[in-house]
C-alpha cells in the first residue's frame, strides 16, 4: 500500500524557505559578480538573468511541495492577500527568507575575500538607482520594480490556480522563466530586485550607500505584490476556497456555490493540485470521500460486491383463522440466468476469483 504523505510541519516550511532563498541569492548574485556584471561588463547579462530564473525553477521543483516555493517576501504577501496562505504563517515565511538572504550575502562576502584585493563596497550585486547605480531616477526605479513584481505575482497566482490542470508540472517552469524575463528587462536599470530578501542579503555587506537605498527595493516590490494579490481574485475569481485566515477576511474565506472545488489546506498544496488523485489521511485505494473502507459507490452497509441489496420491507402475513389451512411454505421462484448489461460484473471470469467488468460481445 502506498504511504500517505504527512502535512509539512512549520519547521519544515521554515527550512524549505530558508534554503530556497539562500540558493537563489547565492547563485544569482554570485553569477552577477562572477560574470563581471557588477563591474559594468555586459557580457554577463544573459548569464545572470538565466541563473536567477533557473534557480527559482529548480528550487520550486525541489521544495515547492513543502512550502510552496516562495523564496520572496513579496510572493508571501501576494499569496496571503490572494487567499493562498494564512497570515499566521506569513511571518514565519518572511523570517526564513530574510535569514536565507542574509546567510547567502555573508557566504558571498566571506568567499570573495579569498581574492586578493577584493573590495566588497559596491561589488556585491546589490540593487541601486540614481548616481550610485545606472542613473535612473528614484521614482522611475520605484515604478519599474513595483510593476515587474505585480506581473510576477500575477504569473505565480495564475499558474498555481486550482483550475490550472498542469500547474504541478508546468508551474515552476513558468515562474522561473518569467523571473528570467524580468531580469532581462530591468537589470540595466536597477539590477532587478522584485524580492526584498534578494536586495537585503547582499546590500548589508556592500557598504553604506547600498543600505541607504534599500527602502526602495523593499517598498516597491511589496506594493506591486499587494496589488497583484488583491486584484487577481477580482479579475479571475478564486480557483478554490480561500484558505482560512487569508486575504482581507481574517476569519476565513468565502465559500463557493459549486462543490467541485475542494479547498486546499495550505498554499504549498497548490503545487500538487491537478494530479490524478490526492490521498487523504486514512483513505484506502479507490475509496471516495464519505465511503467507509472497502465500500463501492451505491453499496449498502453489509452488502458484498456483486450481491443484490437488502430486500424492501414486507409486512407480516395476516393471522391464520381457525379451520383454515395453513399457508404453503415459501418457495423462492426459479432462478433465471441474469441478463447481462453494460458495466455489469461477471463472476468467475478471472482465475484468481476477482470480478471482471466487460462489455458484452
Closest CA to 63 of 87, 93, 86: 93
Report the predicted TM-score, pTM, of the whole model to 2 decimal places.
0.71
Copy the grid coordinates of residue 272.
500538487
Residue whose cell numbers read 418457495: 331
pLDDT band at residue 220 using 50, 70 and 90 as cut-offs: very high
Tens-place pLDDT, residues 323-357: 666 666 666 666 555 554 444 444 444 445 454 54
Tens-place pLDDT, residues 75-105: 999 999 999 999 999 999 999 999 999 999 9
pLDDT band at residue 279 using 50, 70 and 90 as cut-offs: very low
Closest CA to 163 of 24, 45, 42, 264: 264
* DSSP state string for 210-238: HHHTHHHHHHHHHHHHHHHHHHHHHHH--
Q: Of 160 and 275, which is predicted with more confidence?
A: 160
Q: Picking from 1-10, 281-290, 324-333, which range would have the lowest pLDDT averaged per residue? A: 281-290
Tens-place pLDDT, residues 135-147: 999 999 999 999 9
Mean pLDDT of the chain: 80
Phi, psi of 237 (to 5 degrees): 70, 170
Q: How far apart are CA 226 and CA 149, in angstroms?
A: 9
**Bridge partners of residue 357, in order along the sequence:** 345
Whether 208 has a pLDDT exceeding 60, the answer reads yes
Q: How far apart are CA 116 and CA 175, in angstroms?
A: 38
Give the pLDDT of residue 333. 60
Copy the grid coordinates of residue 310.
437488502
The arithmetic mean of pLDDT across residues 276-303, rounded, is 50
134-138 long-range Cβ contacts below 8 angstroms, 24+ apart:
134/188, 134/189, 134/190, 136/189, 136/190, 138/216
Chain centroid to Cα 144, Å, comes to 27
The arithmetic mean of pLDDT across residues 118-139, rounded, is 93
Amino acid at each position: 500500500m502506498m504511504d500517505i504523505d504527512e502535512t509539512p510541519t512549520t519547521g519544515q516550511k521554515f527550512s524549505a524557505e530558508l534554503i530556497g532563498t539562500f540558493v537563489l541569492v547565492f547563485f544569482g548574485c554570485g553569477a552577477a559578480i562572477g560574470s563581471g556584471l557588477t563591474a559594468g561588463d555586459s557580457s554577463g547579462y544573459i548569464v545572470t538573468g538565466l541563473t536567477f530564473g533557473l534557480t527559482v525553477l529548480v528550487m520550486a521543483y525541489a521544495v515547492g511541495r513543502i512550502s510552496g516555493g516562495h523564496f520572496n517576501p513579496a510572493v508571501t504577501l501576494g499569496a496571503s492577500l490572494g487567499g493562498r496562505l494564512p497570515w499566521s504563517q506569513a511571518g514565519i515565511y518572511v523570517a526564513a527568507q530574510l535569514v536565507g538572504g542574509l546567510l547567502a550575502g555573508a557566504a558571498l562576502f566571506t568567499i570573495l575575500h579569498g581574492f586578493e584585493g577584493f573590495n566588497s563596497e559596491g561589488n556585491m550585486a546589490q540593487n541601486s538607482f540614481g548616481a550610485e547605480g545606472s542613473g535612473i531616477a528614484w521614482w522611475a526605479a520605484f515604478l519599474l520594480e513595483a510593476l515587474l513584481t505585480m506581473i510576477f505575482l500575477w504569473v505565480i497566482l495564475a499558474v498555481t490556480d486550482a483550475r490550472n490542470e498542469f500547474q504541478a508540472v508546468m508551474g515552476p517552469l513558468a515562474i522561473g522563466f518569467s523571473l528570467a524575463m524580468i531580469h532581462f528587462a530591468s537589470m540595466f536599470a536597477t539590477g532587478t530586485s522584485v524580492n526584498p530578501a534578494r536586495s537585503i542579503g547582499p546590500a548589508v555587506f556592500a557598504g553604506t550607500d547600498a543600505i541607504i537605498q534599500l527602502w526602495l527595493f523593499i517598498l516597491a516590490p511589496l506594493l506591486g505584490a499587494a496589488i497583484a494579490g488583491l486584484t487577481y481574485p477580482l479579475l479571475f475569481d478564486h480557483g478554490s476556497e480561500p484558505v482560512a485566515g487569508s486575504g482581507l477576511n481574517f476569519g476565513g474565506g468565502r465559500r463557493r456555490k459549486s462543490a467541485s472545488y475542494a479547498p486546499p489546506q495550505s498554499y504549498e498544496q497548490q503545487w500538487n493540485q491537478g494530479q490524478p488523485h490526492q490521498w487523504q489521511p486514512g483513505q484506502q485505494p479507490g475509496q471516495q470521500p464519505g465511503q467507509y473502507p472497502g465500500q463501492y459507490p451505491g453499496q449498502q452497509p453489509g452488502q458484498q460486491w456483486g450481491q443484490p441489496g437488502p430486500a424492501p420491507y414486507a409486512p407480516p402475513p395476516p393471522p391464520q383463522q381457525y379451520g383454515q389451512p395453513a399457508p404453503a411454505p415459501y418457495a423462492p421462484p426459479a432462478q433465471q440466468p441474469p441478463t447481462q448489461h453494460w458495466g455489469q460484473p461477471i463472476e468467475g471470469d478471472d482465475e484468481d476469483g476477482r470480478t471482471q467488468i466487460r462489455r458484452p460481445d
